[in-house]
């Protein structure tokens, strides 16, 4: 807003409250500084300036803000002392903050430049780990592959809610990790950053907001903090045409045991419907320019051959490959207004067919952001009738390395819908945990010498059970994994690796493989670096299924009966 007088705002102080402060501080402020001595910004942009009073005193004087040329830069008071500068037209001006008695003053030199788009799209998320999943890994690569330049920022606090963001904004708390992906895809992380500092760091084209996932489907948690947080950001955003995004996040995996899932009765469909309702209503709380429907893209994908396998092992974050890639595809199409289908960029661990499905799931979500689209053309990934080469399975913490199938859940129902062989071809074989393990253990060996050729990310992490005594409130006498979709006329070999480093007892593990016939292999997993346990010639039952039971072996002398499964190889039997 422009004014035709030089004095823009007169700040009237409350003298009664000041007298109390004067007693504490012991005097009247003798000087004042501004937190920015110079400002250079583009026409249409804003910047917030804060005064700093001498010796940390509470100010006793009255003050005014004065612009030497309001046509170039105008000033609006936004709280008791601070002000927002608005760049009106190219030129130079001085803005003075001075006491009305003429004793104390400070000057900011301002230059307003003509705004010219530079072809770079800048996106800032005020978020948490869900914005990390969606933005930090694959969005830059998708954009670059399509000739778009991006700078991506994420103000990160794990699990941060809108209430917490609004509190941090009000108190100007520097509590964030400011993750930034530059034009070349290089990532930096600046700790101890405030929301205001990150906003002022770039002329952001887009700034996004999202609710913490446990509250993402609870509309009442949006109503108070969201509009106030958006207004706070608007007063500080520098880009004259900045757009505001509401990020629609995803429902948890059906197998998730995360406490926040209780808000939705541990039901994925309930959670998805609640998120859709909350986001549709919340977008009217502030002037949002678009909604990015990551949640619908993930839900679309779950109707495909991938099934409910978009999440990491915790059941609520997205896994490192298909999950994060699908969300990033959704952001790409929402931001740039052009289809992501056919974009050549993908993670190495994804097949072309998986990447195509993810792109289509995102594309359908943009078309119908609050409605699930059944991926009818992606129900069957295809496979050869007979297994021709090895299949490698990693029982670990996250999606696995190239050539490996990563099972990221240890509870009943955790699954991989369609295993791939080591060459990346789908086999049509599914793997499902039917009786849970206790948990994951990260204390395996970091270097192994087996014909599995395991990378450290595989060998160091295992699933474990405890057959003899309570551990973490559970006794897990045995764990079972079912393979389905096998060729019932083919025979298969199975080899297993397990390891628990730094122990002195015997933690022998039994691997019992049961189809039409049954074989058992034993392996002492204690400090194991080089041994595997194998069975051969197992034929599936008439339903094409084989069950693998994992439990403690007869020589296991551990008090709890700990047993381990780190990796498995399935091979065609010659």
Interval 14-27: pLDDT, tens: 322 333 333 334 47
Per-residue pLDDT band at 34 (split at 50, 70, 90): very high
pLDDT of 191 above 60: yes
Query: Which has more confidence, 122 or 306?
Result: 122
Determine the average pLDDT of the residues in 133-160.
98
Question: Tens of pLDDT along 387-405?
Answer: 999 999 999 876 667 889 9
Q: What is the DSSP letter of 540?
A: P
Q: What is the pLDDT of residue 1?
A: 37
How far apart are the C-alpha atoms of 276 and 365, rounded to whole Å?
12
Q: What is the pLDDT of residue 57?
A: 72
Q: What is the pLDDT of residue 18?
A: 31
Question: Domains in the chain, please, with CATH?
Answer: 7-113 (2.60.40.1080), 120-378 (3.40.50.1110), 391-572 (2.60.120)
How far apart are the C-alpha atoms of 155 and 162, rounded to whole Å?
12
**Angstrom distances, CA of residue 257 to CA of 62, 216, 263, 295:** 57, 17, 12, 19
Question: Tens of pLDDT along 508-547?
Answer: 999 999 999 999 999 999 999 999 999 999 999 999 999 9
Q: Are 63 and 80 in contact (CB under 8 A)?
A: no
Q: What is the DSSP letter of 566?
A: -
What is the 3-class SS of 80-119, one letter each residue? CCCEEEEECCCEEEEEEEEECCCCCEEEEEEEEECCCCCC
pLDDT of 433 above 70: yes
**How many other CB atoms sit within 10 Å of the CB of residue 491?**
18
Q: Are 408 and 311 in contact (CB under 8 A)?
A: yes
The greatest distance separating any two alpha carbons of the chain, rounded to the nearest whole angstrom, comes to 97
């Amino acid at each position: 807003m422009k004014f035709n007088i030089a004095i823009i705002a007169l700040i009237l102080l409350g003298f009664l409250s000041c007298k109390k402060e004067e007693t504490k501080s012991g005097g009247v402020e003798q000087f004042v500084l501004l937190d920015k001595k110079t400002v250079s910004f583009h026409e249409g942009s804003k910047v917030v300036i804060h005064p700093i009073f001498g010796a940390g005193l509470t100010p006793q004087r009255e003050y005014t803000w004065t612009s030497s040329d309001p046509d170039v830069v105008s000033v609006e008071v936004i709280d008791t002392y601070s002000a927002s500068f608005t760049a009106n037209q190219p030129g130079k001006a001085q803005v003075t903050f001075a006491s009305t008695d003429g004793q104390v003053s400070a000057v900011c030199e301002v230059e307003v430049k003509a705004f010219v788009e530079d072809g770079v799209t800048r996106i800032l998320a005020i978020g948490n780990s869900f914005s990390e999943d969606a933005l930090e890994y694959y969005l830059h690569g998708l954009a670059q592959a399509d000739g778009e330049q991006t700078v991506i920022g994420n103000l990160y606090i794990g699990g941060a809610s809108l209430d917490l963001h609004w509190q941090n904004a009000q108190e100007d708390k520097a509590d964030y990790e400011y993750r930034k992906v530059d034009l070349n895809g290089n990532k930096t992380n600046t700790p101890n950053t405030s929301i205001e500092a990150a906003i002022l760091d770039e002329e952001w084209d887009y700034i996004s907001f999202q609710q913490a996932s446990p509250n993402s489907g609870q509309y009442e948690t949006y109503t108070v903090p969201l509009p106030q947080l958006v207004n706070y950001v608007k007063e500080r955003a520098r880009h004259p045409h900045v757009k505001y995004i509401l990020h629609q996040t995803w429902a948890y995996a059906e197998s998730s045991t995360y406490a926040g899932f209780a808000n939705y009765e541990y039901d994925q469909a309930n959670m998805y419907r609640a998120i859709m309702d909350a986001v549709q209503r919340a977008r009217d709380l502030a002037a949002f320019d678009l909604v990015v429907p990551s949640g619908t893209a993930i839900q679309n994908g779950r109707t495909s051959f991938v099934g409910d396998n978009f999440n990491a092992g915790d059941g609520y974050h997205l896994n490192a490959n298909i999950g994060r890639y699908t969300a990033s595809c959704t952001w790409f199409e929402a931001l740039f207004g052009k289809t992501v289908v056919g974009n050549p960029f993908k993670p190495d661990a994804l097949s072309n067919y998986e990447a195509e499905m993810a792109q289509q799931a995102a594309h359908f979500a943009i078309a119908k952001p609050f409605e699930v689209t059944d991926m009818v053309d992606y129900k069957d990934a295809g496979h050869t009738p007979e297994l021709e080469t090895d299949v490698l399975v990693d029982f670990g913490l996250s999606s696995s390395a190239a050539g490996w199938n990563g099972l990221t859940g240890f509870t009943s129902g955790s699954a991989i819908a369609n295993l791939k062989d080591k060459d990346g071809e789908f086999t049509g074989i599914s793997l499902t945990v039917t009786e849970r393990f206790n948990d994951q253990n990260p204390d395996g060996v970091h270097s192994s010498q087996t014909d599995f050729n395991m990378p450290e990310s595989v060998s160091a992490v295992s699933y474990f059970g405890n057959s003899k005594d309570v551990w973490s409130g559970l006794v897990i006498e045995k764990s079972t994994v079912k393979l389905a979709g096998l060729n019932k006329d083919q025979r298969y070999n199975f080899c297993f690796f397990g390891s628990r480093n730094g122990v002195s007892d015997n933690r022998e593990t039994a691997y019992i493989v049961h189809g039409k016939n049954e074989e058992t292999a034993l392996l002492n997993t204690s400090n194991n670096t080089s041994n595997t346990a194998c069975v051969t010639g197992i034929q599936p039952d008439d339903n094409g299924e084989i069950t693998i039971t994992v439990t403690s072996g007869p020589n296991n002398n551990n008090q709890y009966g700990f047993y381990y499964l780190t990796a498995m190889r399935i091979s065609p039997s010659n």
